[in-house]
Amino acid sequence: MSTSYPTALMDEPPRAKLQALWRGFRGRCPQCGEGAMFRAYLKVNDTCPHCGAELHHQRADDAPPYVTMFIVGHVIVSLLLTFEVFWPEAPFWLEALVFCGMTAALSLILLPRVKGAFVALQWSLRMHGFGEAAPMDRSSPAI
């Protein structure tokens, strides 16, 4: 059994993953770092307005919300437990107001950043069409 890989993809040098992740986290194009990745809150540009890199292949799907919930949950629960240790007699309405507001704000701030990092990671790994690869040979049956 032989596996056929696109030769164009194998000949290309690897892309810097950490640099791409940082650029994506900042909402910038993973290729040039100059152009904006998003045209709206969570809408990825089809192409980079600065260098023209194609970004429409992205398929971040549900991963950014899950990672955002994971991060926000850990931060908020840690802060809430610390708050309870230092001020156990705080009124419930105050805790609810403060921590619900912090949860919403932190989620809204982190979600586009996490999505940008996921799109940049996909770009750096050449996933979902981010490479200039030739179509795969489908002549041999897949097992």
Going from N- to C-terminal start, the domains of the chain cover 16-124
Q: What is the b/e burial string over 79-114, where b = at least 16 CB atoms within 10 angstroms of the residue's CB?
A: eeeeeeeeeeeeeeeeeeeeeeeebeebbeebbbeb
pTM of the model: 0.78
The tokens for 129 are: 């069409």
The tokens for 110 are: 């982190």
Q: What is the pLDDT of residue 127?
A: 83
pLDDT in tens, 28-77: 999 999 999 999 999 999 999 998 888 888 778 899 999 999 999 999 99
Report the greatest alpha carbon distance in the chain. 71
